[in-house]
Amino acid sequence: MYNPKSTKAEEFISHQEVLSTIEFAEKNKGNKVLLQEILEKAKLKKGLTHKEASTLLVCEDKGINKEIFTLAKKIKEDFYGNRIVLFAPLYLSNYCINGCTYCPYHAKNKHIPRKKMTQEEIRNEVIALQDMGHKRLAIESGEDPINNPIEYILESIDTIYSIKHKNGAIRRVNVNIAATTVENYKKLHEAKIGTYILFQETYNKESYERLHPTGPKHNYAYHTEAMDRAMQGGIDDVGIGVLFGLEDYRYEFAAILMHAEHLEAVFGVGPHTISVPRIRKADDIDPNTFSNAIDDETFKKIVAVIRIAVPYTGMIISTRENKDCRKDLLELGISQISGGSKTSVGGYYKPEKEDEDSSQFEINDDRTLDEVVNWLMELNYLPSFCTACYGSGRTGERFMSICKDQQIHNFCHPNAIMTLNEYLLDYASEKTKETGHKLLLKEIDSIKDEKIRFSVIQNLDKILKGERNIKF
Ligand code: SF4
């Protein structure tokens, strides 16, 4: 029944295979010989199977766990260096016809204000986001064919890309909208989106159907097979994720890796990113009513083992997590974070009044982008506003093969330096500028290839003189 090459949801995410994976993992969680073998394989930095990774996940041996965390940090460092990519979500509309029980935008919620931005409002939001320094957005919208048809999404993407305010520009629009048809994915691809993001929420079919009692999202197979259709539509960067807290985390963990294996088996390229949101309080949602909540320690272990299992896949956390938790997770594997986020429809240009709150969830990190950038640099990270791979056609399989060979540093590191310099010149506070300039000197010094170093120095001079969007 289990077949990663199948295009049927219930075969590539086989319930039986997930259950036997959990059983195997639990049976072997004290098997030191096996655990060491898996760790040795992981050290080759070519990844692990869902079964191997699941066994590491549930292991309770302190020594092995310490090794897992150390290896996750090492792999993070080898593949991503100290770069952290920054982005912001932009909610276009919270009209939704689905009945998801964990989301306040569900159709039965009659008291949350329903909003849908006009193109003029989107323009104002984007200018506000550009003025913060953002270059990469993730647009979000509820599912509603009347209020938010694909034409509205496409028009909004066009609007976003068209706005050039001062030195600002949104250079990559990632899209998080409901599962749709190959034809619509083709349209999104033609609109030049970056990553298509769709969270599975939960891979357990029975739980999925219970948590999505009404609306088109109720269809488990249609939702789970969405990434296959996206890839058939020409989108080669897809982002997957689950909402931790809905189901047993061991189930979600095994299944998300099976999803990654399926995409690799069928399309030759795994997911571009994996997101790891945890359920949060929202308008009419009480996270305590979901019994599978995970504590911080388990959450960190999940991130660390995903990092080891799919070393070349980016990992994202949002402002659902607080500053301290984000700090720990950055070390263990996260490569992208949001900053200065609003989870309401609008709110960047003009803050919402309290009685008009349209947020999807409460955020736990409400610092400004400038504060987040400064904080990252003080922790010795290199904040990156780079979107160059996308602009240079390094997507999908091409991106993955550069990444697997660990060649990505040669592009990403110089590009991160240059885009950070743009940020410092155009948007940073005096304090952030000061921290940033010290960091830039150190980062330039660390470029080993003399030609690249020289070229970066020349480009930084061009940026100082007003040129923008120079890339490797
Ligand atoms: S999760 Fe998405 S589909 Fe479900 S109610 Fe919320 S906005 Fe609608």
Residue 70 pLDDT more than 70?
A: yes
Q: What is the best residue among 92, 97, 102, 105 to mutate for testing ligand 1's pocket, by most ligand atoms within 8 Å of CB?
A: 105
Separation of alpha carbons 220 and 11, rounded Å: 13
Q: H-helix or E-strand containing 89?
A: strand 83-93
Measured by CA distance, the residue closest to atom 7 of ligand 1 is 142
pLDDT of residue 443: 97
Whether the model pTM is above 0.85: yes
Q: 50, 279 in Cβ contact below 8 A?
A: no
Q: What is the model's pLDDT at position 406?
A: 66
Residue 414 banded pLDDT, cuts 50, 70, 90: very high
Closest-CA residue, ligand 1 atom 5, reads: 106
Atom of ligand 1 nearest to the CA of 215: 3
Q: What is 192-258 written as a DSSP string?
A: T-S-EE---B---HHHHHHHS-SSGGG-HHHHHTHHHHHHHTT---EEEEB-BTSS-HHHHHHHHHH
Which residue did the predictor score with more confidence, 281 or 306?
Answer: 306
**pLDDT-derived band of residue 398, with 50, 70 and 90 as boundaries?**
confident
Ligand 1 nearest-atom number relative to CA 140:
7
- pLDDT tens column, 28-38: 999 999 999 99
Q: For residue 96, which atom of ligand 1 is closest to its CA? A: 8
Band (pLDDT 50/70/90 cuts) for residue 243 is very high
Nearest atom, ligand 1, residue 97 CA: 8
Q: Which of 201, 202, 217 to mutate to test the pocket of ligand 1 (most atoms within 8 A of CB)?
A: 217
| Per-residue model confidence (pLDDT) at position 289 | 87
Ligand 1 atom closest to 106 (CA): 5
Nearest alpha-carbon partner for 127 in 89, 176, 162? 162
Pocket around ligand 1 at a 6 A CB cut-off: 96, 98, 100, 103, 105-106, 142-143, 178, 217
If you average pLDDT over residues 84-99, what whole number do you get? 98
Q: Whose CA is nearest to atom 1 of ligand 1?
A: 103
Closest-CA residue, ligand 1 atom 4, reads 100
Tens digit of each residue's pLDDT (9 = 90 or more) over 245-296: 999 999 999 999 999 999 999 999 999 999 999 998 888 888 888 889 999 9
Residues 164-219: pLDDT tens digits? 999 999 999 999 999 999 999 999 999 999 999 999 999 999 999 999 999 999 99
pLDDT of residue 336: 96
- At residue 229, the pLDDT reads 98
> Which atom of ligand 1 lies closest to the CA of 107?
5
- For the segment 420-451, what is each residue's pLDDT rounded down to a tens digit? 999 999 999 999 999 999 999 999 999 999 99
Average pLDDT score over residue span 40-49: 97
Sign of CA dihedral 287, 289, 290, 292: positive
Q: Which region, left, alpha or beta, applies to residue 155 given φ > 0 means left and ψ of -120 to 50 means alpha?
A: alpha
**For residue 178, what are its two tokens?**
């409901």
Q: Is 126 helix (H, G, I), strand (E, B) or coil?
A: helix
At 440 the pLDDT is 98
DSSP label of 114:
P
> What's residue 284's pLDDT?
86
Look at residue 378 and tell me whether its pLDDT is greater than 70: yes
- Band of pLDDT at residue 351, cut at 50, 70 and 90: confident
Return the number of other C-beta atoms located less than 10 Å from residue 461's C-beta.
10
Which of 96, 176, 197 maximizes ligand 1 atoms within 8 Å of its Cβ, making it the mutation to test the pocket?
A: 96
pLDDT at 65 over 80: yes
The residue-averaged pLDDT of 122-139 equals 98
Q: Please give the share of the chain, as a percent, with pLDDT higher than 70.
A: 99
Instruction: Give yes or no for residue 140 having a pLDDT over 90.
Output: yes
